[in-house]
């Protein structure tokens, strides 16, 4: 069969799809982009279709060799998937869906679930564009989810498919960003205001939380802050881990100067309602949805904020001054809703502990909203949650927030099963989620401490731990946080320690031999113990209640997408991966095979595979 006849058949077959809007070799704009390596050699663009559950990637690498893109995990590259491709010196292209059988060896998948849309090479770059399902039926393909994804990128200097560790990179990315900044409105009357430290000498300690109190912009009428942006000095970026802005109640008496947020002077930890959150790991700023803003300028609005900057000076570098902070964007063009932030999780200090040597350890923090109206002073309308931020330290592996109503699990509000301490950012929910007065909210945090030989306690230092989730919602109320902790006396008794108060209970944890059995026993005791729930308002009013940890119904995996285009539900008895039966090559097929790379590029891998089955030509 000649190339001309092959192309005619492909064109006839794909005409209906073309007229229905499917474009093979599409060059449509991909909205998201990121460099994947420190030298900016590897540039990734991507976009996705949530309804179709398809994601499209375009990888551009400064090389004349092969390029590859895939997904890996936190601990090892073994089992990672990698889609590879390139352009041979004669102009033919090659493209394949593969996986790593060990740290350095690639093997082609039995099911080819990536569809080539373009592969070019010029004097500078090799560019590969392809699409793939969020979840294929191939066991060798990693799922694309709303969790943090560890993107694997690699390339070679020629067309020999061999992994080189110097040209292999992993970067954590939140791929399924629901809202793109370009989709949001920027008012013409935007005003900028900076909240920052001034020439602060960063201590030589590993961890410092520096706090100061600053006034918000003075305005004569109500305005809305609609965007927060981290403001960092370039040479200090590696030392600034995150920046928080807390709104202060107008009745608060605030100290002056800069001091340790959680040190000897408790006044520097006043103001507990988080409002703005910035991280050096952000790809820029966070802008609220077009109908939501932080209200300033009315008698009910805060006039001062606490600026908190977490510095990590692990190399104990002396003499470094910093003037980092947060840039506010605000407008007189009012949005429909005033937003608030509700802090949930495990009350950090002094009860939280995590045993050493734990493969897995779960901590829980309960929130009961039944007292919200009483503490708020006026009726609390149902709140609509539109975004969230997750926070643990280095031992954290996963988090989730679960909602219950009348004793029944309603939904998982947000989660990340592949949390990365170095990628903490505000994320938008796919739709608004309603929380009613009386609902219970549970935060679960998953830790691993195999690299530690002593207890990890809750606290502000990076080597301590936290278990927090911030929910961004509207309309605003006065509740700033709602967090829980277990009865440590009960936990100590379950571990065979005799104690009479909470302080003795925490001290007793140092007496326990942390065998795998005792780690599981401690986790079970913490979960079954009665929780004390601490609720706090923006004016520092605190009330307690109690409750019990409900069971969590885990979210099932959704259907996979076969390379043939059909969805397969998890309960269906289908092989892990679709693969057409191999067809023997005939002697007359050689000329046709020379046409196949170009045909795949022009018409798509799926169309080509279908035609090859008809023609009885194997690849």
CATH number, domain of 287, equals: 2.60.120.310
**What's the structural domain count of the chain?**
3
Same domain, 62 and 103: yes
- Catalytically active residues are 209, 391
Write the CB contacts of 164 (distance below 8 Å, at least 6 apart in sequence): 154, 156
Same domain, 328 and 402: no
3-state class (DSSP) for residue 267? helix
pLDDT at 586 over 60: no
pLDDT in tens, 87-137: 999 999 999 999 999 988 999 999 999 999 999 999 999 999 999 999 999
Same domain, 260 and 306: yes
Tell whether 49 is covered by a domain: yes
For 39, 67, 559, 612, the CA distances from 615, given in Å and listed in that order, are: 46, 30, 31, 5
pLDDT at 618 over 90: no
pLDDT in tens, 314-352: 889 999 999 999 999 999 999 999 999 999 999 988 899
Tell whether 2 is covered by a domain: no
pLDDT at 377 over 80: yes
Between these two residues, 409 and 579, which has the higher pLDDT value? 409
Tell whether 563 is covered by a domain: no
Q: Which of 1, 136, 50, 59 is nearest to 606 (CA)?
A: 136
pLDDT at 12 over 80: no
Q: What is the DSSP letter of 523?
A: H
Please state, in angstroms and rounded to a whole number, the distance separating the CA atoms of residues 77 and 100. Answer: 7
113 sits in the region (left: phi over 0; alpha: psi -120 to 50; else beta) called alpha
User: Average pLDDT over the chain, rounded to whole?
Assistant: 85
CATH number, domain of 46, equals: 2.60.40.1210
pLDDT attached to residue 235:
72
Between these two residues, 23 and 125, which has the higher pLDDT value? 125
Last residue of a domain, one of 278, 309, 337: 337
Instruction: Rank 176-180, 561-565, 571-575 by mean pLDDT and report only the highest.
Output: 176-180
Tell whether 178 is covered by a domain: no
pLDDT at 574 over 60: no
For 12, 111, 255, 425, 456, the CA distances from 270, given in Å and listed in that order, are: 70, 57, 9, 24, 25
Between these two residues, 399 and 11, which has the higher pLDDT value? 399
Structural domain range at position 190 = 185-337
CATH number, domain of 540, equals: 2.60.120.230
Same domain, 155 and 220: no
Encoded tokens for 374: 């009483």
pLDDT attached to residue 277:
60
Same domain, 263 and 360: no
Same domain, 312 and 343: no
Please state, in angstroms and rounded to a whole number, the distance separating the CA atoms of residues 51 and 49. Answer: 6
Same domain, 55 and 164: yes
Tell whether 598 is covered by a domain: no
pLDDT at 582 over 90: no
Q: Determine what percent of the chain is predicted with pLDDT higher than 90.
A: 67
Same domain, 313 and 347: no
Total Cβ atoms within 10 A of residue 179: 18
Last residue of a domain, one of 309, 337, 365: 337
pLDDT at 600 over 60: no
Please state, in angstroms and rounded to a whole number, the distance separating the CA atoms of residues 468 and 471. Answer: 10
pLDDT in tens, 378-428: 888 999 999 999 999 999 999 999 999 999 999 999 999 999 998 888 999
Last residue of a domain, one of 534, 552, 570: 552
When mean pLDDT is compared across 33-42, 538-547, 598-607, the lowest value belongs to 598-607
Tell whether 279 is covered by a domain: yes
Beta bridge partners of 292: 337
3-state class (DSSP) for residue 35? strand
pLDDT attached to residue 431:
94
Encoded tokens for 422: 């170095």
Same domain, 94 and 198: no
pLDDT at 237 over 90: no
pTM, two decimal places: 0.84
pLDDT at 2 over 60: no
Same domain, 464 and 503: yes
pLDDT in tens, 489-536: 999 999 999 999 999 999 999 999 999 999 999 999 999 999 999 999
Please state, in angstroms and rounded to a whole number, the distance separating the CA atoms of residues 61 and 158. Answer: 12
Same domain, 156 and 189: no
Tell whether 6 is covered by a domain: no
Please state, in angstroms and rounded to a whole number, the distance separating the CA atoms of residues 465 and 391. Answer: 9
Q: How confident is the model at residue 207 (pLDDT cuts 50, 70, 90)?
A: confident
Q: How confident is the model at residue 218 (pLDDT cuts 50, 70, 90)?
A: very high
| Enclosing H/E stretch for 300 | none
Total Cβ atoms within 10 A of residue 70: 25
When mean pLDDT is compared across 456-470, 484-498, 557-571, the lowest value belongs to 557-571
pLDDT attached to residue 343:
95
Same domain, 190 and 106: no
Tell whether 254 is covered by a domain: yes
pLDDT attached to residue 274:
79
């Amino acid at each position: 069969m000649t190339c001309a006849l092959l192309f005619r058949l492909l064109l006839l077959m794909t005409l209906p799809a073309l007229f229905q809007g499917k474009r093979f070799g599409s060059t449509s704009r991909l909205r998201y982009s990121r460099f994947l390596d420190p030298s900016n050699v590897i540039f990734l663009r991507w976009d996705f279709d949530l309804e179709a559950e398809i994601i499209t990637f375009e990888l551009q690498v400064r090389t004349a060799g092969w390029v590859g893109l895939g997904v890996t995990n936190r601990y090892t590259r073994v089992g990672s998937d990698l889609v590879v491709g390139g352009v041979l010196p004669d102009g033919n292209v090659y493209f394949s869906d593969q996986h790593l059988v060990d740290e350095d060896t690639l093997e082609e998948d039995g099911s080819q679930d990536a569809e080539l849309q373009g592969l070019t090479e010029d004097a500078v770059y090799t560019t590969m564009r392809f699409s793939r399902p969020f979840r294929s039926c191939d066991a060798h393909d990693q799922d694309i989810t709303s969790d943090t994804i560890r993107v694997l990128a690699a390339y070679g200097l020629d067309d020999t498919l061999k992994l080189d560790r110097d040209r292999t990179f992993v970067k954590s990315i939140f791929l399924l960003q629901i809202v793109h900044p370009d989709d949001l409105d920027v008012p013409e009357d935007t005003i900028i205001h900076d909240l920052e430290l001034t020439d602060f000498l960063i201590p030589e300690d590993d961890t410092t939380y520096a706090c100061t109190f600053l006034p918000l912009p003075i305005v004569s009428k109500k305005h809305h802050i609609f965007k927060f942006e981290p403001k960092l000095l370039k040479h200090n970026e590696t030392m600034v881990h995150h920046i928080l802005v807390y709104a202060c109640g107008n009745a608060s008496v605030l100290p002056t100067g800069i001091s340790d947020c959680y040190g000897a002077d408790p006044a520097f930890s006043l103001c507990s309602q988080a409002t703005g959150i910035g991280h050096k790991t952000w790809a820029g700023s966070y802008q609220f949805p077009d109908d939501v803003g932080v209200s300033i300028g009315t008698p009910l609005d805060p006039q001062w904020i606490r600026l908190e900057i977490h510095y990590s000076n692990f190399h104990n570098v002396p003499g470094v001054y910093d003037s980092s902070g947060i840039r506010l964007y605000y407008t007189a063009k009012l949005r429909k809703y005033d937003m608030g932030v509700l802090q949930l999780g495990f009350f950090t200090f002094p009860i939280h502990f995590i045993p050493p040597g734990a493969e897995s350890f779960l901590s829980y923090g309960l929130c009961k909203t039944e007292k919200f109206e009483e503490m708020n002073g006026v009726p609390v309308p149902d709140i609509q949650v539109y975004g969230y931020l997750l926070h643990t330290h280095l031992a954290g592996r996963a988090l989730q927030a679960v909602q219950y109503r009348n004793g029944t699990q309603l939904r998982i509000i947000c989660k990340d099963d592949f949390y990365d301490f170095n990628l903490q950012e505000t994320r938008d929910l796919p739709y608004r989620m309603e929380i009613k007065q009386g609902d219970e909210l549970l935060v679960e945090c998953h830790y691993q401490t195999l690299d530690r030989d002593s207890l990890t306690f809750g606290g502000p230092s990076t080597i301590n731990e936290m278990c927090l989730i911030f929910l961004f919602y509207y309309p605003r109320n006065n509740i700033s946080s709602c967090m829980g902790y277990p009865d440590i006396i009960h936990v100590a008794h379950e571990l065979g320690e005799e104690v009479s108060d909470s302080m003795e209970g925490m001290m007793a944890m140092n007496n326990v031999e942390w065998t795998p059995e005792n780690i599981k026993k401690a986790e079970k005791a913490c979960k079954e113990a009665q929780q004390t729930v601490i609720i706090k308002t923006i004016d520092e009013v605190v009330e307690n209640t109690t409750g019990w940890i409900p069971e969590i119904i885990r979210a099932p995996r959704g259907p996979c997408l076969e390379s043939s285009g059909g969805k397969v539900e998890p309960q269906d008895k289908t092989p892990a991966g679709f693969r057409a039966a191999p067809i023997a090559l005939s002697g007359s097929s050689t000329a046709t095979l020379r046409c196949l790379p170009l045909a795949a590029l022009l018409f798509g891998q799926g169309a080509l595979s279908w035609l090859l089955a008809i023609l009885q030509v194997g690849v």
